[in-house]
């Protein structure tokens, strides 16, 4: 375990005037607060913040950031408070520590929403001070290094989160070494078999080619020195298991087919020397076509600069070369931490010429935070953090950086949201091309616009950037919100009225966070679309409200269920036949009950002709002369009532495990017209414990017959299992469920 004095000595090596008293004070405070806490490995908990601080010393960060690393878990895991840390260490350090603290008490319905809100809090803290990011990445790196002591499930979850969020985030900030280590550690736990296989093969290759890296280094050294670049530093390495595996996956290659497992770096004194070294190498060895990239003249968004080329080099070995200056190398290794702006402990401004990556991250966070619910924020953040890029230009020469695979739609939204919303076409290099065209490096893109255009929802499946996807969803929501807001409002009014409560838009504002919605109109429209239950809204507004349940009991005299609510109101619902109920009475079984929520009033209730089964999302429709008809939400018959929202009733299943009632569903089978087909089908149905209510057959071709079967099933799961079994029969061509 790292010792306190060793940590202080590390900081003083690169900053002799460091505030030693601050470091000692932070260490003592963290030690006292964490007390006897232990990590999963059994080590004292204080070992973790010490190791996180040690990682940051490798980036040569200031003592304030090191102190934050020592304190970063105190608010979250001990009795420490923000006010206490502000008083002892100052508001600057207190704000950083709080930015690293997860939100413990989130009153949200979804666990995914909680994860997203914690990520949102972290990113917003990063947008205020990038040192939050540096400490968080060091914290995650040490946790990944010590992950073996966790349960397999927790290792997999943490590794996936690291691969999805933190490794790309490190890459976006230009911290390539840290990104590679995070990816490799995650790969080991996400896909241990592949990790072991690739690692073993790399070891075998290294043993076969023992001394090859050193030999190539010497040849490159001698070549550069002979041509006036004696100061050049050449280093080589074997690629990491994850980078090898990723290339195998992306290129669909086996390990034996990979030819560029080795990478070499040439570091020279200045930019002109970079191009001299490139010319020397290309003159001596053959270049692999299509593998040259100049990130010096066109830097990446994260400030990365280097020349990349692949050659068939010494020993006829294909190798990758990176050529850069020492300053470029520091930025490539440590990314944003390499800027003296942050070493001095200052906050970065978005217009700083030394913080392009940080400014980009701040703009990304701002765009992600516009109008998205937590789950969308999480999804869009993942999209934005992946780094492979193409560089395109506007007709006026403005450079637009986009992820690989981006389309003109992504380009339009990258220029401006209004440009994307009004895009109707695009010219790529002067030619009109489809909007689904994948852009390449160097393309000049001109967007054709129309003032009456509204982005189609289908665009969401085409774009690859989070900004474009978020903007399309916002535009789609705005377009459909009017359609569903009226319906949602009427549904909520009826639900609140049945509960004896008064509904108002103002009353929803305090509980929006519980519903995962940004504003009242979004919540009302979500109810209209069926994405949010009106009863959930009612319970959010009135937590003490007890649901009124409607109980359905069989009436043996007519084959219908009599429905009686808690208020004494009676409804009817079709159930099993009279004969079946008489059999039940003779067997001594008691009457069955079917709880349903959402109905009130004195009206007859029945299912639509196509039936509905527990597990279906259902709605009720008030029909003249028929009472209330229950439809599955997929029923095409519901289209008849689109313009009559006042007739829609929000209902849902509420069955317990003791339910003994079957429900009707209809399927259509297209089967071979040969002896034994019907027997196979009916045998499969019987084996699945499903009853056939009725059946009809129609010859649709010389060799095929269409069989329509009305079934009685327990629930949707049983029905789906039957459909799967029927599809496996050789005599069955197609099978599908049908609705009225």
Catalytic residues: 76-77
- Burial level of 135, CB count in 10 A (0-12/13-18/19+)? buried
Reference 613, options 593, 598, 632; nearest CA is: 632
CA distance 111 to 119: 13
- The answer to whether the beta carbons of residues 390 and 441 sit under 8 Å apart is yes
The DSSP string of 399-410 is: EEEEETT--HHH
436 within 8 A of 462, measured Cβ to Cβ: yes
CB-based burial label for 250 (10 Å; 0-12, 13-18, 19+):
exposed
**Tokens 């209902």 found at:** 651
What angle is formed at CA 144 by the lines to CA 141 and CA 148, rounded to 5 degrees? 155
Whole-angstrom CA distances from 651 to 42, 486, 551, 666 are 52, 18, 13, 21
CB proximity list for 414: less than 8 A, separation 6 or greater = 400, 401, 402, 465, 467, 468
Q: How many residues does the chain have?
A: 740
Reference 285, options 317, 324, 237; nearest CA is 317
Question: How far apart are alpha carbons 434 and 446 in whole angstroms?
Answer: 12
**Integer Cα distance of 641 and 624 in angstroms:** 13
Looking up tokens 């059946």 gives: 695
Which pair of tokens denotes residue 724? 């799967």
In whole angstroms, what is the distance from residue 184 CA to residue 195 CA?
A: 9
C-alpha to C-alpha distance for 337 and 542, rounded to whole angstroms = 50
**Cα–Cα distance measured from residue 599 to residue 652, given in angstroms and rounded to the nearest whole number:** 9
Partner residues linked to 697 by β-bridges = 707
- Sequence-distant (6+) residues with CB within 8 A of 704 are 670, 671, 672, 673, 733
Q: With 0-12 CB in 10 A as exposed, 13-18 as middle and 19+ as buried, what is 430?
A: exposed
Contact of 444 with 393, CB cutoff 8 Å: yes
Between CA 308 and CA 314 the distance in angstroms is: 17
Tokens representing residue 526 in the block: 């979500």
* 674 vs 679: CA distance, rounded Å: 11
CA 231/CA 668 separation, integer angstroms: 78
Q: Which residues pair with 554 in a beta bridge?
A: 561
CA distance 105 to 116: 14
- The bridge status of strand 704-713 relative to strand 663-672 is antiparallel
Q: Which helix (H) or strand (E) holds 361?
A: helix 356-368
* Spatial distance between the Cα atoms of 400 and 301, rounded to a whole number of angstroms: 10
The interaxial angle of helices 466-498 and 520-529, nearest 10 deg, is 80
| Phi, psi for 506 (deg, rounded to 5) | -60, -35
Exposed e or buried b per residue across 104-133, where buried means at least 16 C-beta atoms within 10 angstroms of its C-beta: eebebeeeebbbbbbbbbbbebbbebbbbb
DSSP conformation class of 130: T
Pair of tokens at residue 413:
């939204």
Angle among Cα 66, 68, 70 to the nearest 5 degrees reads 75
Beta strands (DSSP E) in 222-363 are 233-238, 262-268, 286-287, 293-294, 307-312, 318-325
Using DSSP's 3-state secondary structure scheme, residue 712 falls into strand
């Amino acid at each position: 375990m790292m010792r306190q004095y060793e940590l202080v000595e590390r900081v003083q090596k690169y900053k002799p005037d460091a505030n030693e008293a601050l470091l000692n004070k932070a260490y003592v405070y963290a030690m006292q607060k964490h007390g006897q806490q232990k990590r999963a490995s059994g080590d004292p908990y204080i070992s973790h913040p010490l190791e996180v601080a040690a990682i940051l010393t490798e980036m040569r960060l200031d003592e304030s950031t090191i102190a934050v690393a020592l304190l970063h878990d105190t608010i979250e895991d001990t009795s420490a408070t923000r006010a206490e840390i502000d008083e002892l260490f100052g508001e600057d350090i207190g704000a950083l520590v709080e930015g690293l603290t997860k939100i413990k008490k989130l009153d949200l319905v979804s666990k995914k929403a909680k994860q997203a809100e914690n990520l949102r809090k972290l990113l917003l803290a990063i947008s205020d001070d990038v040192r939050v990011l540096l400490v968080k990445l060091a914290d995650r790196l040490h946790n990944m290094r010590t992950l073996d002591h966790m349960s397999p499930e927790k290792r997999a979850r943490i590794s996936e989160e690291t691969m999805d969020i933190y490794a790309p985030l490190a890459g976006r900030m230009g911290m390539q070494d840290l990104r590679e280590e995070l990816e490799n550690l995650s790969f080991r736990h996400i896909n241990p078999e592949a990790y072991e296989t690739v690692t073993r093969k790399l070891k075998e290759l290294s043993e076969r080619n023992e001394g090859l890296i050193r030999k190539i280094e010497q040849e490159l050294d001698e070549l550069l020195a002979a041509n006036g670049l004696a100061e050049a530093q050449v280093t080589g390495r074997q690629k990491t298991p994850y980078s090898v595996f990723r290339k195998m996956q992306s290129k669909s290659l086996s390990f034996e087919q990979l030819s560029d497992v080795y990478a070499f770096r040439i570091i020279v004194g200045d930019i002109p020397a970079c191009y001299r070294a490139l010319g020397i190498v290309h003159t001596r060895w053959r270049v692999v076509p299509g593998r040259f990239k100049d990130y010096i003249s066109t830097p990446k968004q994260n400030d990365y600069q280097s020349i990349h080329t692949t050659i068939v080099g010494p020993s006829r070995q294909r190798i990758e070369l990176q050529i850069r200056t020492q300053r470029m190398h520091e930025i490539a290794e440590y990314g944003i931490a390499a800027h003296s702006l942050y070493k001095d402990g200052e906050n970065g401004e978005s217009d700083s010429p030394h913080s392009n990556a940080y400014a980009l991250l701040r703009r990304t966070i701002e765009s992600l935070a516009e109008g998205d619910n937590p789950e969308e924020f999480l999804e869009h953040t993942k999209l934005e953090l992946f780094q492979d890029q193409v560089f395109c230009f506007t007709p006026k020469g403005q450079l637009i950086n986009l992820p690989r695979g981006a389309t003109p739609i992504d380009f339009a939204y990258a220029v401006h949201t209004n440009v994307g919303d009004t895009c109707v076409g695009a010219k790529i290099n002067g030619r009109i091309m489809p909007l689904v065209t994948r852009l390449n490096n160097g393309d000049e893109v001109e967007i054709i616009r129309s003032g009456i255009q509204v982005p189609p929802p289908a665009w969401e499946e085409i774009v690859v950037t989070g900004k474009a996807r978020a903007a399309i969803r916002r535009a789609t929501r705005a377009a459909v919100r009017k359609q569903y807001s009226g319906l949602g409002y009427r549904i909520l009014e009826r639900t609140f009225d049945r509960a004896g409560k008064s509904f108002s838009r103002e009353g929803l504002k305090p509980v929006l966070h519980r519903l995962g919605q940004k504003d009242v109109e979004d919540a009302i429209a979500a109810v209209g679309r069926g994405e949010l239950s009106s009863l959930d809204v009612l319970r959010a507004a009135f937590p003490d409200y007890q649901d009124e349940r409607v109980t359905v009991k069989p009436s043996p005299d007519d084959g219908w269920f009599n429905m009686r609510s808690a208020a004494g109101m009676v409804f009817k619902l079709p159930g099993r036949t009279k004969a079946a109920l008489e059999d039940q009475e003779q067997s001594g079984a008691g009457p069955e009950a079917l709880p349903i929520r959402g109905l009130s009033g004195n009206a007859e209730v029945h299912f639509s002709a196509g039936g509905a089964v527990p597990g279906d999302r259902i709605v009720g429709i008030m029909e003249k002369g028929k009472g209330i008809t229950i439809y599955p939400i997929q029923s095409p018959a519901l289209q008849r009532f689109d313009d009559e929202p006042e007739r829609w009733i929000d209902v849902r299943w509420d069955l317990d495990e003791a339910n003994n009632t079957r429900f009707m569903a209809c399927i259509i089978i297209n089967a071979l017209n040969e002896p034994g087909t019907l027997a196979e089908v009916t045998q499969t149905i019987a084996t699945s414990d499903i009853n056939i209510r009725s059946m009809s057959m129609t010859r649709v071709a010389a060799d095929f017959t269409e069989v329509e079967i009305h079934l009685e099933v327990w629930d949707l799961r049983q029905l789906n299992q039957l459909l799967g079994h029927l599809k496996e029969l050789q005599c069955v061509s197609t099978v599908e469920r049908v609705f009225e």
